[in-house]
Chains A and B, each alone.
Chain A
Amino acid sequence: MKLSLNWLKRYIQVNLTADELSHKLTMAGIEVEKVSKENNDVVFDLEVTPNRPDCLNVIGFARELSAILDQKKQIPSFKPHKMPTKKYDIQVDDKKDCARYIGTLIENVHVKPAVDWMESLLKSIGVRTVNNLVDITNFCLMETGQPMHAFDADKISGNKIIVRRAKKGEKIVMIDGVERELDPSILVIADDKKPVAVAGIMGGKESEVTEKTHNVLLESAYFDPVLIRRAARKLGLSTDSSYRFERGVDFDMVESGANRAIDLILELAKGDITKKDEVKAVSKLKLSTSIVVSIEQINGYLNDKLSIHACKKILNNLDFEATLFGKNKIKITPPSFRGDIKQEVDIVEEIARIVGYDNLPSTTPLIKPSQILPDEKRQKRNAIRKALLSQGLNEIITYTMVNKRSLEKTRQESLSGISIINPLSQDQEILRPALLASHLNVLAANINHQQKDLTVFETGKIYIGGSEKEVLAVALSGKQNSDWRNHARKTVNYYDLKGVLVKTIQDVFGAEITVKHIKKNYFDETQSVAIFLKGQEIGEMGLLSDEVVNNFDIKNAKVLFAQLDLEKLLKEDWRHKKFVPVCEFPAIIRDVSLAIKTEINFADITQEAFLLGEGILKSIDFIEEYLGEKIQKGYRGIVFSCSYQSDKKTLTDDEITKLHQRIVASIIQKFSAIQR
């Protein structure tokens, strides 16, 4: 909304500089976004909040300013004219759509170019001048906030106005020269044959006022705000008029505004009023009844010491009917243009903003401890994040919406996510059912920029069956951590990913995960597992298949990916921290080197060893795996060390040797292993 200072000065004396005025308006809730000097005028670009349609006109600003500066304003009189008794035929189909419609026929007008003073004011705020009649309706719109339209009365067939919904497929060429197709969600002003205007938005080309016009029909109305908003959006057409109707015009101003326009028409274009009609749904648009508020309430809320008289003065300056009621109360009836004032707090805000928020006291609140406990899920999630960060993984945040096609690319066609009803683009079709596609997109973008060594994670939501679920995803690709002393850096593999997850879960929950081979469309056939924690499946990890990786245009790179169910994981208990005395007796370490069948799992061997370990076998460390020619076909070499220790005594070499041999012998026998 643009405001001309010269125009404003017609109603109130302004002795402030443009900057001072800007500041005052901004601090009273009407933000000045820009001030520009045009010709001999100063123009303010203002942001008026949607609850204040009363400020979308110059008189509204004069009113605000009179309250801010506590100064008198001079509003032109909008007295009714002596009206003819002849009726113009106006019919409103549904008064819910149009609560008030006043049509006035003025004959024998002189349509001429714009009048100088009006032209310069309109030009300042960027309104194009057309002719004296159109200019008057525009001038009144900007002055009073009441949109009005002047029809060439001779172009209205049947001398009749019908306010009705458009018929399906009905068309109208509007003043901007564009033909638009209408439908029954759109309200039109029609004659007995066709629409002559789209209600509240723009008039029709055919009935517009031109220099050839002799007789005009002036329309002033109140249209339903929601109806106008939806129609404007549907037609993709926002006008000064629709902007005001959408926010709600002043019911009383429908008549006053018409009177103001008629005054100006008679003055500047001559003519005679010959016919008139008004259709009204109610005598007054129902606003809230009076509000009673005490000065203690106001001061209590604001923590201030305002006087009741100062408060009453502010409200009166804003054209509220405010009277003292008892000793300490004010009774207020808000004016017809303040539909936003409904209860006590609304009055408090009016007073607060006119006094100025900056002039009100500031205190540090006393915050009492609440019964709400810290969110443990969040704390555990943060512990997981910290564990992952400390292992060198970067955290990422990806869009939760994805393209449906991305699920084909990841071979997750069986998952569906949740569809978005009104996506802006294909990339927002669904709320993702998995994080894989999001992560591959991030890796692909990075690899395209020659950043190939990537270790990332995200804690985010997936969406399945109408609800959301929290998951953790980890993706690794490229080379391991760099160390120039060890130039030949290895490419990350399954064990890097497993290590990250094992370490993280150990760190936070103090528990071991186990894995079981699974097959998934998107994983490599052999290197993919389901992850279990205490017997419960909590996720999956593995090497992604080349097909899936290629689908994201990632070439010549292996990608490892894991997704864990955080809903389950975050319910686990924290790692139990309890002191255990450090063992004072020495540990004895014995290495074992075996050739075992390829399909034998190391986990089975350790399980067997611990079973026989008599509680003295404390730990087994895996040292090396050897897959080479020196081992017979179908076998692989493994080396691990067993650590024996007693809490009660120093073990003798003899004791250990016996136990160790028993364990190794049993393993060899059970798994057909060969000692190396």
Chain B
Amino acid sequence: MINFAEIRKQIEIDLAAVNDKNSLEVFRIKYLGGKGVVKEVYSSLSSVAPGDKPSFGKEANALKNDLSAMIEQKTLEIKSLGSKSSDNQIDLTLPGVFQKVGRPHVLHQTIEEICASFEKLGFVVQEGPEIETEFNNFTALNIPAEHPSRDSFDTFYVQAEDTTNKGRNLLLRSQTSPGQIRVMQNNKPPLAVIIPGKVYRPDAVDASHSFMFHQIEGLLVDVDVKFSDLKGLLTVFCQKFFSEEIKMRFRPHYFPFTEPSAEVDISCYICKGKGCSVCGKKGWLEIMGCGMVHPKVFEHAGYPKGKYTGLAFGMGVERIAMLKYGINDIRLFYENDKRFLEQF
């Protein structure tokens, strides 16, 4: 005699034990297989009393449908479990495979980042040549004819005649400032430009000196640029580039092409101004030179006397990158060791 309640009880027990594809298949065969329980139920129909047949049939159909539904449900459950012992099993901890992406040189990253900061403020990036005239590199920048920086000890001269100054050789720019002169010679204010590039000085190479390095120059010229604008502009830049929390100070300094001139210090971010080896126990890090454009520079650029005022600033890219990333040797930038390049 078939006892539906007992069958259903057993189903419950068996189903609970199903935990993967294989055990589910065993379950299916046991109940819905060719020689399964359901088949057995149906084949026992003939021995049921005629009056009970309709209700028996109903119960048998319900059992079959329920089992189908149970199996379907269980199949989904097992799939979503990610079946631990299925054929699709892989070692999920093996390394992923990726397309290699190259790294921009850290100096270019630094240049891009600095330029982008100023571009957001309305500056336009300009570039100038590395081989320059004495006029653009010195004279126009109010550096007197006998100034030591013009000596061959401080500037590289090249075997090429300056066609604008017969008998004189061209030189490798020792600063990005001649870029200012070129911009002013070709454009009228208002202008706000930022000029990145390579510069050269005959310095013996060591951990902090290089005969080739990078600078970024900035120039803002208009009818009423004030010293307060210089302070404000560079404060905004430094706080965005380094950190909102840094302190800044402007220290009087001397550059022939600006007056007043200043050096900009930021509080040492390593020791927070207390004094450490990075800042030389001073608590401050020198990061750039700046000032109000000297009237002589405007004169050399061909601007009318007294019409414009302007501010200019310049910084060494290597120095800023070294501070920002804690790089301790300038030569690393030019060795291009893969293990160095791929850190940035």
Which of A's residues lie within 8 Å of B, judged by CB? Answer: 26-29, 31, 49-52, 225-226, 229, 233, 300-304, 343, 345-346, 348-349, 352-353, 357-358, 360-365, 367-375, 377-378, 385, 388-401, 418-424, 428, 431, 442, 445-446, 449, 451, 454-457, 461, 463, 466-468, 481, 483-485
In the bound complex, residues from chain B placing their C-beta under 8 Å from that of A50 are: 148, 254
Digitize B197-212: 1 where CB-to-A-CB distance is under 8 Å, 0 elsewhere.
0100011100000011
B308 lies within 8 A of chain A by Cβ: no
CB within 8 Å for A358 and B249 given contacts A395-B103, A454-B338: yes
Nearest 3 CB-CB pairings of A with B: A29-B252, A392-B100, A49-B254
Q: Are B131 and A468 touching (Cβ within 8 A)?
A: yes
Out of B146, B336, B338, name the residue touching A397 (CB < 8 Å): B336
Q: Are B101 and A392 touching (Cβ within 8 A)?
A: yes
B188 lies within 8 A of chain A by Cβ: yes
In the bound complex, residues from chain A placing their C-beta under 8 Å from that of B211 are: 399, 401, 424, 428
C-alpha gap A392/B341 in the complex (Å):
12
Digitize B91-117: 1 where CB-to-A-CB distance is under 8 Å, 0 elsewhere.
000110101111111011000000000
In the bound complex, residues from chain B placing their C-beta under 8 Å from that of A302 are: 226-228
Q: Are B228 and A303 touching (Cβ within 8 A)?
A: yes
In the bound complex, residues from chain A placing their C-beta under 8 Å from that of B334 are: 397-399
How many residues of chain B get a CB closer than 8 Å to chain A's CBs? 86
B324 lies within 8 A of chain A by Cβ: no
Q: Are B157 and A455 touching (Cβ within 8 A)?
A: no
Q: Are B337 and A445 touching (Cβ within 8 A)?
A: yes
Total contacts A to B, CB within 8 angstroms? 239
Closest to A354 in B: B252
Q: Are B97 and A352 touching (Cβ within 8 A)?
A: no
15 contacts between A and B (CB under 8 A): A301-B309, A302-B227, A303-B228, A345-B292, A360-B227, A365-B220, A365-B225, A367-B123, A388-B102, A394-B341, A395-B104, A400-B212, A420-B158, A420-B172, A451-B339
Within 8 A of A (CB), among B269-312: 292, 294-295, 309, 311
In the bound complex, residues from chain A placing their C-beta under 8 Å from that of B131 are: 418, 431, 463, 466-468
Out of A27, A398, A468, name the residue touching B249 (CB < 8 Å): A27
* B241 shortest CB reach to chain A, Å: 16
Out of A229, A375, A391, A418, name the residue touching B160 (CB < 8 Å): A418
In the bound complex, residues from chain A placing their C-beta under 8 Å from that of B311 are: 365
In the bound complex, residues from chain A placing their C-beta under 8 Å from that of B146 are: 225-226
Q: Are B152 and A422 touching (Cβ within 8 A)?
A: yes
Closest to A453 in B: B338
C-alpha gap A481/B225 in the complex (Å):
54
Digitize B225-263: 1 where CB-to-A-CB distance is under 8 Å, 0 elsewhere.
111110111011000000000000111111000011110
Q: Are B341 and A396 touching (Cβ within 8 A)?
A: yes
B121 lies within 8 A of chain A by Cβ: yes
In the bound complex, residues from chain A placing their C-beta under 8 Å from that of B161 are: 466
Among A370, A393, A396: residue with most chain B CB under 10 A: A370
CB within 8 Å for A446 and B336 given contacts A300-B226, A390-B102: yes
In the bound complex, residues from chain B placing their C-beta under 8 Å from that of A27 are: 249, 251-252
Q: Are A348 and B260 touching (Cβ within 8 A)?
A: yes
* B319 shortest CB reach to chain A, Å: 16
C-alpha gap A360/B292 in the complex (Å):
14
CB within 8 Å for A397 and B252 given contacts A361-B228, A456-B336: no
Q: Are B130 and A419 touching (Cβ within 8 A)?
A: no
CB within 8 Å for A372 and B97 given contacts A357-B231, A367-B121, A399-B212: no
* A433 shortest CB reach to chain B, Å: 13
Given contact pairs A363-B229, A428-B156, a sample of 13 additional A-B residue pairs in the complex whose CB atoms are under 8 Å apart: A357-B262, A367-B220, A372-B183, A372-B187, A372-B191, A375-B127, A395-B102, A395-B341, A400-B212, A418-B160, A421-B169, A431-B172, A457-B102
In the bound complex, residues from chain A placing their C-beta under 8 Å from that of B183 are: 372
C-alpha gap A107/B273 in the complex (Å):
58
Q: Are A484 and B97 touching (Cβ within 8 A)?
A: yes
Within 8 A of A (CB), among B302-331: 309, 311
